[in-house]
Amino acid sequence: MSAYSLRGLNWFNALSAGANAVEGLPASLKVADGVLGDQPVRFVAVVADPDNRFVRARNGEVGLLEGWGLAKAVDEVIAADQSKTQKRALVAIVDVPSQAYGRREEALGIHQALAAAADSYARARLAGHAVIGLLVGKAMSGAFLAHGYQANRLIALRDPGVMVHAMGKASAARVTLRSVEELETLAASVPPMAYDIDSYASLGLLWETLSVEQIEQPTAADLARVTDCLHQAIGDVVAGGRDLSGRLGASNRAASSKVRQLLRAQW
């Protein structure tokens, strides 16, 4: 069994079968142009590269090369489709364990690389491209902020290995001076501290969750179901606009919605 996750790569390969691979990017980035129904799409995934020149980014982490590479891949779409009536959708396949932690990353400005990726996704969304995030594995910390979180719609597959958080359990336990078991007990009653998809969904951030038969290596039925959901999500974006207001209606976000309302009234 591999030491790193292959989910992102396997789902990318399944969804982009028959698509045209985009060259000139780091080996840790998989990008291809294809179609979903009659909708042109660019599929984007960050995958493990055991030979990555940056050792902290060999297991699927989003590092310097990945951040700038994501920005390039998205900016190409914005520029090429600027005058087109039908713009390509962007499907970010998310299976990222973390941003790359290392002295070289900090010295060479990983904060700028990840910000560039997030900025490109946001500009694509505002330029009229439907941006869909498909969570098939971990969506952790700055890696998720750079790749996926700017999506108009987020779709998560139902599986214990699909989780969203600011940091891994061991790190969060150290920071909060708890054991992992104590952290899990706390998370059971505080959704923002939890790792499971149901807790994350209760915050109103997911557009849809899907169950599949084989999340590690999708079956034909899995692929058909996810493809149909992606197509529906793109249609929902086209019909409903390009902002992120759909994330604000959950009951667990009532307080933040109230704050937004009061701030708008004051301004």
Consecutive 10-residue averages of pLDDT for the chain (267 residues): 87 97 97 95 98 96 98 98 96 96 94 98 97 97 96 96 85 86 82 82 91 97 98 93 81 84 93
Whether 20 and 35 have beta carbons less than 8 Å apart is answered as no
- The pLDDT, as a whole number, for residue 1 is 52
- The pLDDT, as a whole number, for residue 33 is 98
| φ/ψ of residue 185, rounded to 5 | -65, -45
- The pLDDT, as a whole number, for residue 174 is 87
- Burial of residue 62 (number of CB atoms within 10 Å: 0-12, 13-18, 19+): buried
Long-range contact set of residues 229-235: C-beta below 8 Å, sequence gap at least 24: 229/155, 230/15, 230/36, 230/41, 230/91, 230/132, 230/134, 230/155, 231/36, 231/37, 231/39, 233/130, 233/132, 233/152, 233/153, 233/155, 233/207, 233/208, 234/36, 234/39, 234/41, 234/89, 234/130, 234/132
- The pLDDT, as a whole number, for residue 12 is 98
Structure tokens at 264: 């708008």
Of the candidates 150, 168, 143, which has an alpha carbon nearest to the alpha carbon of residue 67? 143
Residues 6+ away with beta carbon under 8 Å from 98: 61, 62, 140, 141, 142, 143, 167, 168
Gyration radius (Cα) of the chain, Å = 18
The SS3 of residue 209 is strand
First to last CA, the chain: 56
pTM above 0.85, yes or no: yes
**Domain boundaries 7-266, corresponding CATH code:** 3.90.226.10
Cα–Cα distance for residue pair 141/128, rounded to 1 Å: 26
